[in-house]
Chain A
Amino acid sequence: MTTLTARSSVRPVLMKGNEAMAEAAIQAGCDAYFGYPITPQAELLEWMARRMPEEGRVFVQAESELAAINMGLGAAATGARVLVSSSSPGISLMAEAMSYMAGSELPLVLINVMRGGPGLGSIGPSQSDYFQAVKGHGHGDYRVPVLAPSSIAEAVDLVASAFEIAERYRTPTMLLADGVMGQAMEPVVPVYRTLARVTPGWALTGADGRPARVVRSLHLLPEELERHNRHLQAKYSTIEEREVRWAGERLEDAEIAIVAYGTAARVARTAIDRAREQGLAVGLFRPITLWPFPSEALAALAPKLRAILVVELSAGQMVEDVRLAVAGRSPVLFHGRTGGIVPTPGEVVDALRRTWDLADAPQIGAT
C-alpha cells in the first residue's frame, strides 16, 4: 500500500478526536462506514452520516453493533475499504464477527473509543479493554493488530496506518482510543494520507469470466483447519516482525521509565516534567502498537533502569505484557485508576516517588 498524497491545512484547526478520526478515514479512502450510536463515540457516527453521502460513499446506521460489524464484513468481502466504530459494550458485541473476519482474512478497521466497564460501566474514559483488544477479543486462535494514538494528530495518522496494515495482511485491525481521545478537542494540523486503491484478487464481484470465489472461515476437516491456522499464525509472526511501533521520550538518562499509551501517556508526560524538576530521572516508553507489543525494545531498555512504572486507566492490564517482556530484568510497579477517572499528574509523581524509593531498597531490586 503506497501513500498517494499527504495533505495538510495551512494552519491548525480545532478538532474533536472522534471527528478527526472520521475525517481521516474519509481522506484515506474509506468506502463504507457502519455504526450504531454509543457514547463516547457518537460524534464519529454523526460525522460519517453527514460526510459519507457528500462523498458518494456508503453510510448505514445499523440496528445493533452486531449488525454494524456484519455489514462491515459483507462490505469488506467485496474488497471495499471499511470502517466500523463503537465503544466498549458495543465492541463486546462485535467479537463474533471479528473472529469470523480474522478466519476469513477480511481487512476492516474497527475503532474502539473505550469507556469504563465492566458491563454498562460509565461513559468516562478508560483503557480497560486492553485485554479484549490484544488477547483475542473473539473465539479461536487469532490476533488483531491494535494501534493506540495518544494525540488527535497521531490518531489521524494511525487511522491511515490501520487501513494499510489491514489491507497488507488481510486482517481486521483495531484502533484503540479512549473517551478522552474521542471527546477532547485540540488544535491540530491534520496530515491526511490518501491510500492507493487496490482491487484484491479475492474480492467478491460476481464470478464473471473467472472461477467463483468463496469468503469463508469454516474448515470442517481438522487437517484443513490446522493448515489454515498455521497460515494465520505465520502471518501474525510476520506482523510481529514488521509492524511493532513505539516511541521513547527522555529515556537517554532515565533511571525510571513510565510505560503508558494513549491518554495515560499524556498524563505521564506532565508527571515526568514535574518529577525531573524534583531530580528524578524519568522517561516515557510509549507503545503505539499494543499488539504486536514492543517487547524486545522494552526488554533491551529494562536492565538500564532502576524500575518501571506502568500507568493505565485500568486496574492493570498492559502491565502483564510489560512484566512478560521485562522478565524480571527490572522491578515493575503499577498505578491505575478505573471507572472513568483519569489519574492526575500529581498521583503519578507520587507513584514515581514510591517507585524510586522501593527501587532503592535492595530486596526489591533483587526480585
Chain B
Amino acid sequence: MEKRRIIYQRPDVLTDRSTHYCPGCGHGIIHRLVAELLDEMSLAPRTIGVASVGCSVFAYDYLDIDFVESPHGRAPAVATGVRRLRPDAFVFTYQGDGDLAAIGTAEIVHAAARGERLSVVFVNNGIYGMTGGQMAPTTPLGQRTTSSPTGRDALTAGYPIPITEMLALLPGVVYAARGSIADPSAIGKTKAMLRRSFELQEAGHGLSIVEILSTCPVGWAMTATEAMEHVAADVVGTYPLGVMVDRAKAAATGREA
C-alpha cells in the first residue's frame, strides 16, 4: 500500500477563501507566514490582531483570529489599548508603509518609545497600493508613481524614510529587522525574523518590528515576476536586509546592542 504523508497544507489560521489581492502581491505570502507561526506557536486562541488602513485592512477576512480595525496610521495606539487591557493576549499590528511610515509615524514612534509589548508586521512596498499607486514616503528615488509621474525627485519630494533603522535606535525596541519575500530563501529568513519577534513578545520583551519588502506589481507597472526581481535587485539597495538590533540577544550574550 502506498504510504502518504502531508508535505504542504493550508495553516488552520488561514481561512479557505480567495484573497482580493492582485496577482504577484506580497500580502498573500506574508499572511501565510503569520498564519503558519500562529499555528506552530499555538498562539491563535489568544491572539488579537490590529488591522490598519490599506490593502491589508482585509487581513481579518483571511486570518481566522480576533481582529480590530484601526483608523489610518493609529494601529500602534489601538494595539496599546488592547495590550494594556489584555496582558495575556498575543497582540500584533499588520501595517503597510503608507500607514506606518507616513500618517502613523507618531503612533509607531511612541509605541516603540514606551516599549509596548507588541509585534509589528510592517509591509513595505513603497507605494500607496489601495488608492491607485501614489508615492509614499518609502518610495525609492526615481520611482514613477501616479503622484510622481516623472519619478520621485529628492528636491521636491525628499528621501525614502528608513523608519525601521530609526526605530532601532529606541531602547524600547527589543528587535528590529528587515526581510523580503523576493524568493524562497528570503521568505524563509523573513519567517525566522517574524518567529523571533513573536517569541520575544511571548517572553515579555517590548516592541519588535519586522519590515518586509514586498511588491505591488500593478502600482509598479510590472509583471509579478518582474516585481519580485525588482525587490531582489533594486529595492534592497535602498532598504538593506538584515537584523538591525536584537537587544534580547545582546543582553543574553553580554554584548552591546
Contact = CB atoms under 8 A, between A and B. Distances in A.
Interface of A: 31-32, 34, 58, 60, 62-64, 66-68, 70-78, 80, 82, 96-97, 100, 104, 204-209, 212-218
B77 A77 contact: no
B79 A74 contact: yes
B249 interface: no
A209 to B, nearest CB: 7
A8 to B, nearest CB: 30
A207 B65 contact: yes
Nearest to A67: B77
Q: Which 9 A-B pairs have the closest CB atoms?
A: A74-B81, A75-B81, A208-B45, A74-B78, A206-B46, A70-B77, A63-B110, A71-B81, A70-B74
Interface of B: 44-48, 50-51, 57, 60, 64-71, 74, 77-86, 89-90, 106-107, 109-110, 114
B contact patch SS: helix
B176 to A, nearest CB: 20
Given A206-B44, A206-B47, 5 more contacts: A72-B81, A74-B68, A78-B82, A78-B85, A205-B66
Contacts of A104: 68-69
A204 B68 contact: yes
Contacts of B106: 63-64, 66-67
B70 A73 contact: yes
Given A77-B68, A97-B74, A213-B66, A208 B81 contact: no
Given A66-B106, A67-B74, A97-B71, A73 B66 contact: no
A60 B47 CA distance: 22
A73 B107 CA distance: 14
Given A208-B46, A215-B69, A75 B110 contact: no
Nearest to B90: A206
Given A67-B110, A212-B64, A100 B71 contact: yes
Contact of B71 (A31, A63, A70, A82): A70
Given A64-B106, A216-B60, A218-B57, A77 B71 contact: no
B100 to A, nearest CB: 14
Contacts of B64: 207, 212
A289 B246 CA distance: 54
Contacts of A82: 81
Given A67-B74, A97-B71, A206-B89, A212 B66 contact: yes
A204 B74 contact: no
Nearest to B60: A214
B109 to A, nearest CB: 8
A63 B82 CA distance: 17
A67 B76 CA distance: 9
A56 to B, nearest CB: 12
Given A32-B85, A74-B80, A74-B82, A214 B69 contact: yes
A188 to B, nearest CB: 31
A71 B118 CA distance: 14
Contacts of B109: 63
B45 A58 contact: no
Contacts of B90: 206
A214 B60 CA distance: 7
Contact of A218 (B69, B77, B78, B79): B69
Contact of B84 (A60, A77, A206): A60
A60 B80 contact: yes
A75 B45 contact: no
A32 B85 CA distance: 8
A70 B107 contact: yes
B48 to A, nearest CB: 5
A75 B83 CA distance: 8
Given A74-B50, A74-B80, A80-B85, A215 B107 contact: no
